[in-house]
Structure 1
Amino acid sequence: MILKLILGSIVVAAAVIGAIIANGAEVGVFAYLALLPPMLLMPLGMLTAGPGFKAIGELFFLIRFGGGERDRNLARATLRFFDKSLAMTAILCFIVHFTAMLKNLADKDAIWPNLAWALAPSLFALVIHVAVSLPLTHAVEASGTVESSPAPAETKPSFTTLRLFGGMAVALAGIVSFSPASFASWLFVDLSSFLIIIFIPLGMLLAATGSASFKRAWASLNDPEASLESLRKARLAYRYLALSFRSAAMVGAGMGFVLMVKDFLERTRVGPSVALIVISALWSLLLMSVVALPLEAAAERRSLEIGGAAFHS
């Protein structure tokens, strides 16, 4: 299956490159190789922090040898999370380069090439989805049906703090690798954005759940004997954490847009307003991607491992 996947991916990539060339556009192959680190490292980091490498191995085992409905639910959850990681990578790469582009609007000739480069990760993510995710999804659904193995009585939790932080580090490295100069130049440091990013999620969490629910959710992930009910509550807690980060991004973007419209004729105020939009979105979505989504995925996987129902976010 792995060989077929590689061959199919090569054919899809060749088709895309051939279509671009046939359209008369130039393809800077070496330039586009710069997209590989973020498009590989961030999904890899998110998968490591969330479902883990074990999930990937089980997916290919299911495709080759078959399995039961429990095994398919685990594989489906892994593929859904992989698609989500691709989407978040594309969005974050766009925000990173779009922010850098806004800093250099004086060069009119560079605006459209820069915008195209900001959109390139989205195309890359779509190609990976078409060449990898969709074939794997079909293979999972078409896999043979055998009696699903019972959930193992683990002596240690499948989720570990080391795996979480290791995956987070890899994912962050992937995003930084897309534009190291922008991160090194403190381009993404903005006090007003940080106030939004920190205190809106904090306020939402205090209003709805408090710290106790997250302590219980964390304990459930690290408890090999956690019940389905405790894992269900853990999934909901981390899902709400993701919602709080997403809400912070929306509030920051909305506030920045309102301020930008208000001070549109005062050019010195437009820059800070735009910075509030893009920087609050960047850090909120980045925190959601490397913290909340992997934790939610880990809780869902733990639940599925012991026979829980599939959880669709």
Structure 2
Amino acid sequence: MNESLKELLDLLDLEQIELDIFRGRSPEERIQRVFGGQVAAQALVAAGRTVPSGRDVHSLHAYFIRPGDPSIPIVYNVERVRDGRSFTTRRVVAVQHGKAIFTMSASFHAPEPGVEHQAAVRPVVPDPETLPTFQDRMHELVGDDPQWKDWLSKPRPVDARYASPLTFEALKDPGLRSPETNVWFRCDAELPDDPLLHVVLAAYASDFTLVDTILLAHGLSWGASNIMGASLDHAMWFHRPFRADDWLLYAQESPWSGGARGLARGQMFTASGDLVVSVVQEAMIREIQR
């Protein structure tokens, strides 16, 4: 297990400071704001720790309200909205500087039998082992450019393999501009069997590339275009058990953008084709006037 994954698992092991109150921290990096996937993952951990055993999260709905400050801890307040016979509902508010920066409602469900179908089909893409890592792919594009060198050299907790163009490639080639992207990802180490941990790690990873589908349609790229962006809200549905240390294909698309906002949605499939997670996110995309 690389040090970056160890650090992420440590970040997700929240400190309980009072009944239904937890405290999380951010990585020691020079970043302006907390990564949204981190806040969502930590909030889900906080909610899950107040839920009776045997109930798995099946959905979450979250709003990003203010940028998180990575230099101070985040306090997560959990409200026990309902404990029913089959479903448990929790509401989480993340607080910094005395103000809410993030809210989430999460629902947990005790397993029970029911009718089953799956209309979604996993896209046909190359196997992940045949694809270069994200770092290797970017290195081919930027070479030894000092602007990117330090960022690309950092170890990452999640191994991502793109089966479609990067935004940086679409920036240079208009023929690659399409509001769709397919990314294989996994945590590259064997993880404990705790189902909540695998769901939390998928929530963490879900925020990495989803907004890129909006940028791809317009030939825009983070760090190379005059844009700023931020997640506004985020919703996930967890359909069946899966493991975050096995390869998952994240098929993503953006059906619309306008008015400084864009909508993106994604589906996570196992390598065998089972649909395990559905995701929808709206993001702010603004052009910066210089």
Q: Where on the TM-score scale, by shorter chain, does this alignment land: which range?
A: under 0.3
Q: Give the structure with the higher percent strand.
A: 2
Greater percentage in helix: 1
Higher RCO, 1 or 2 (CA under 8 Å, sep at least 6)? Answer: 1
Greater gyration radius: 1
